[in-house]
Structure 1
Amino acid sequence: MVDVVLLLAVALLAAGVVGTVIPLVPGGLLSLSGVYFYWWQSGFAEPGTVTMIVLTILGLVTLFVEFFAGSIAARAGGASWTTTGLAAVVGILLMLVTGPLGLLVGLFGTVFVVEFVRAGDVNQSTQSAIYATLGILASTAVQALLTVSILFGFLIGVFVF
C-alpha cells in the first residue's frame, strides 16, 4: 500500500522544485514543509538526525538565496539599496501583469533609469542593471539546484538510511 504521508511529503518537495522557477512561490519553504511534515508524521524518527540537519541547512540556504541574492547581485553591480528596493517593487508589479518577462524587464529598466538619474553614467547604470538581472536568473538556477538536492536527499534519507 502506498504511504499517503510519504506521497504528500514528496508532493510538497516537488512543488518546492517547481516553485523555484515560478516567481513569488516559496520553493524553499515548500521543500522544508515536505521534509518537516514527514519527519513529524514519522514521530521524529525518519529521516535521521544528520539527514534532517543537512536538509534544514539546504532549505535555509535556499530561502536566503530566494530573498537576498537579487539584492546582493544588484549591490555588486553598483546599485544603491534604494534602487534595489524600487526595482523589486516595479519588477513584482510588472510580473503580476505580464509574467516573468515583466519581472526581468521591470528590474533591468528600473535599475538602469534610477542609477542613471542618480549617477549620470550610462556604463555604470547598464552594468548595475545587468548584474541585477543576471542575479535574479542565477538565483533561480541556484534555488532549483538546492530544492532538487533537498528532494533527492530526502528520498535517500528515507529509503537508504
Structure 2
Amino acid sequence: MVDAVTMVAVALLVGGVVGTLVPLVPGGLLSLSGVYLYWWTSGFGEPGTITIVILTVLGAVTIFAEFFAGALAARVGGASWTTTTIAGVVAVVSLLVVGPVGLLIGLFGTVFVVEYLRRGDANHSARSALFATVGTLASSAIQAMLTATMLFVFVVSVFAL
C-alpha cells in the first residue's frame, strides 16, 4: 500500500515536471521538495545516499538552468552583461503583463535594441537576440528532461523493491 507521504512526494515530482513548462513555477524546487519530503519521513534512509546525491545534483542543475540559461545563451551570442540584465527584467515584466509570448518578444526585442544601441551592428544584435530567445526555450526543455529524470529515478528507487 502506498502511503499519503509517498503520494504527496510523487505529486510534487510530477508538479516539478509540469512546472518546468509553466513560467514562474519553480520545477526544480518542487521536485527537490518531493524528494526531501520522502527522505525526511523515511528517517533519512530511503532513497539511499547515492540516489539523494544524484537527485540533488539534478535538481540543482535544473534550478541553475531556470535562472541562468537564457542569460548565458545571450552571452554566448555576444550580448553584454548589461544587456542580459536589462533583458531579464523586461522579460519578467513582459511575462507578467502579457504572458509567455510577451516574455519571448520582450527578451528578443530588448536584447536586439540594447545591443544595437551599444554596437550599432544589426547582424550582431539579431544574433545576440536569437541566442537569448533560443536559450530561454532550450532551458525549458532541459529543465523538463531533468525533472522527468528525477521523477523516474525516484520512482524506480522507491518502488523497485
1:1-161 matches, cutoff 5 A? 1-160=1-160
Helix, strand or coil for the counterpart of 2:60? Answer: helix
- Structure 2-normalised TM-score? 0.98
Distance, in Å, in 1 between the alignment partners of 2:8 and 2:153 is 16
Q: What residue identity is the alignment partner of 2:115? A: E
Helix, strand or coil for the counterpart of 1:134? Answer: helix
Q: What residue identity is the alignment partner of 2:140? A: T
What's the offset of the Cα at 1:23?
Answer: 1.1
The answer for unaligned runs of 5 or more in structure 1 is none
What's the offset of the Cα at 1:2?
Answer: 3.5
Distance, in Å, in 2 between the alignment partners of 1:94 and 1:59 is 27
What's the offset of the Cα at 1:126?
Answer: 0.1
Distance, in Å, in 1 between the alignment partners of 2:2 and 2:31 is 21
Percentage of identical aligned residues = 65
Q: What residue identity is the alignment partner of 2:17? A: V
Distance, in Å, in 2 between the alignment partners of 1:28 and 1:152 is 14
Distance, in Å, in 2 between the alignment partners of 1:95 and 1:30 is 21
Deviant stretches of 4+, over 6 Å: none
What's the offset of the Cα at 1:48?
Answer: 1.0
Q: What residue identity is the alignment partner of 1:30? A: L
**Larger CA deviation: 58-67 vs 103-112:** 58-67
Distance, in Å, in 2 between the alignment partners of 1:57 and 1:91 is 28
Distance, in Å, in 2 between the alignment partners of 1:94 and 1:150 is 31
- Structure 1-normalised TM-score? 0.98
Q: What residue identity is the alignment partner of 2:156? A: I
Question: What root-mean-square deviation, in Å, do the aligned CA atoms of Structure 1 and Structure 2 show?
Answer: 0.9
